[in-house]
Structure 1
Amino acid sequence: MADQRILITGSAGTVGSLMRPRLRRDGRILRLLDLCDQPAAAAGEAVELIRASVTDPAATAEACAGVDAVIHLGGHSRETSWEETLDVNINGTRTVLEAARAAGVPRVVLASSNHAVGFRRNDEAGEGGLPADSSARPDTFYGVSKAAIEALGSLYHSRFGMDVIAVRIGSCFPSPVVLGPRGLATWLSPDDGARLFEACLAAPSPGYRVIWGVSDNTRRIYSLAEAQALGYESRDNAETYADQITAPAPTGPAADHVGGPFVTAPLGQPNPL
């Protein structure tokens, strides 16, 4: 049986670096694309390293050749200028989707964000949590870009039949402590992140889906039903770190909205986690 080959864009970033060892499997090759330097393959690690930008059509086309799926993490992960956001996050995602389409890649997993719906109020969450497909209410240029990539994913599914799953990631870090009190709701543990991506890769014929990427945190306000329907099972809970978080709870708009401090941070400038 031929090896499965998965392209991960933005593989040198925070999420990509956390996923690299966790998505390692016998019979799987990880093709890792990033503009930054990446560690060489460890003993027994089946990886192909590509140094390129997701904004480069030729390099992205070459990277998509012969792959079974794409996990698209590439792009700016924080607020930046509109020009940079448009070029890298939006145009870059279109470039990746077009390269995947041309190469016949059947499935793409897109890294969206809670900031696509950052101006949704926390109290909009019902008993099961805020639905994963709640319509966009972005809180920043960054949030706009995530809403745009979801729309692009929908387009490429509807036009070309590609399976596309947009994952609205809360906050994926080794622990939620760096995030302060908000992380107790938004955290996606690295191990749960790998479980979620594995579910996205394995689910039969998902079509187009939007799901939340969070762990089953005691304080979460996000629905896990959509991700669970794909086979995701969270095993972690940010609450185990609660006694390590000493920062004060947010107040005002940051406390009331899904986007937290992003809803009042200046547009086009680096902003809080």
Structure 2
Amino acid sequence: MITGAAGGIGTLVRPRLRKQGRTLRLLDITRPAPPEASEDVEIVEGSVTDADTMALACEDVDAILHLAGHSRENSWAETLSVNIDGTRTVLEAARKSEVPRVLLASSNHAAGFRPVSETATLAADSAPRPDTYYGVSKAAVEALGSLYHSRFGMDVICLRIGSCFEEVHDERGLGLWLSPDDAARLFEACLSCRSPGYRVIWGVSANTRRPVPLDEAEALGYRPQDDAEVFASQVTPGTDHDLLGGPFTTAPLGAPN
């Protein structure tokens, strides 16, 4: 099952996760695009904040890719309700339905106040340094994943994703870009690796300017093939930032960015 299947990353990876013998259950509050003839999909309209919806959606599921949530800075109330409480609702439904593996979309913003000078060798599971309410929610998502692994034995992998778009739009993205193709490769590696337990990994492509290590993701079988450097000539040089979160470390809290 993919939560947030009609969102940005969900839409990008949906066709890339098609596989013979695999059924994709697509959940979102916005109805995802209708299935194509070659797709084996089931569509569920509903919110990750609704326990009854999630209980039904988790029936007979082998793994969950949890992408749902506010993907930008929002009010504290919305961030708490959707990103944090919503994730707990997903994990609780998964536990009750005995779903063995959950992939949780975290973010580089969970560590946005880390100096770039120290991130090249920084383990993804190092202590969070969030840069926004959004970053706080992703740190909480990782903590919830740890709890549900430790308490209930669920395999949980938290992916600190950089920025996943078709193209790179700014200089910061030249380091943190996760191409849609590499996103699918990363998700497939996390779905197929044997008994990962609880992991936190960085999720970016093989970028020349990559500010974070990929050792932990590669240990799970991830083999990125794309490099954001192909967009370098199209990107206008920006202000140098000493912190991983860049301009997000000074943006207003609770205001959409």
TM-score, scaled to structure 1:
0.93
Partner secondary structure for residue 209 of structure 1: strand
Equivalent residue number for residue 163 of structure 2: 171
Code of the residue aligned with 1:140 in structure 2: it is: T
- Does residue 20 (structure 1) correspond to residue 14 (structure 2)? The answer is yes
The AA in structure 2 aligned to 1:250 is T
Secondary structure at the aligned position of 2:211 is classed as: coil
**Following TM superposition, by how much is the alpha carbon of 1:103 offset from its aligned partner in structure 2, in angstroms?**
0.1
The aligned length equals: 257
Shift of 1:130: 2.6
2:84 is equivalent to residue 90 of structure 1: yes
The SS at the match of 1:165 is strand
**Cα displacement string for residues 73-104 of structure 1 (whole angstroms, at most 9, x for unaligned residues):** 00000000000000000000000000000000
**Residue equivalent to 2:228:** 238
Contact 1:215 1:237 (C-alpha < 8 Å) held by counterparts = yes
Q: 2: CA distance between counterparts of 1:140 and 1:220?
A: 22
1:155 aligns with 2:147: yes
Q: Unaligned regions of 5+ residues in structure 1, if any? A: 1-6
Quote the residue 2:216 is aligned against.
226
After superposition, residues 18-167 of structure 1 pair within 5 angstroms as 18-126=12-120, 129-167=121-159
- Distance, in Å, in 1 between the alignment partners of 2:183 and 2:77 is 30
> SS at the partner of 2:208?
coil
Give unmatched runs, 5+ long, in structure 2: none
Consecutive aligned runs of 4 or more in structure 1 exceeding 6 Å deviation: none
Quick one: which of 250, 253, 264 aligns to 2:239? 250
Contact 1:212 1:224 in 2 (8 A): yes
Q: Secondary structure at the match of 1:193?
A: helix
Give 1:213's aligned residue. Answer: 203
Structure 1 residue 125: Cα displacement: 2.5
1:262 aligns with 2:248: yes
1:261 CA displacement: 1.1
Deviation at 1:68, TM superposition (A): 0.2
What's the TM-score, normalizing by structure 2?
A: 0.99
Q: CA RMSD of the aligned region, Å?
A: 0.7
Task: Choose which of 167, 173, 185 in structure 2 pairs with 1:195.
Answer: 185
Q: How does 1:4-19 map to 2 (within 5 A)?
A: 7-19=1-13
CA distance in 2, matches of 1:196, 1:11: 17
Identity of aligned residues (%): 65
Q: Deviation of residue 37 (structure 1)?
A: 2.3
Q: Which residue of 2 aligns with 1:3?
A: none
**Separation (CA, whole Å) in 1 of partners of 2:13 and 2:49:** 22
Does the Cα contact within 8 Å between 1:130 and 1:221 map onto a contact in 2? no
CA deviation map 1:117-138 (0-9, x unaligned): 0000101134xx3321121000
Contact 2:31 2:43 survives alignment (8 Å): no
Rounded to whole Å, the distance in 1 between the matches of 2:119 and 2:21 is 41
Please state whether the residue corresponding to 1:256 is helix, strand or coil. coil
User: Could you tell me how far apart the structure 2 residues matched to 1:218 and 1:130 are?
Assistant: 17
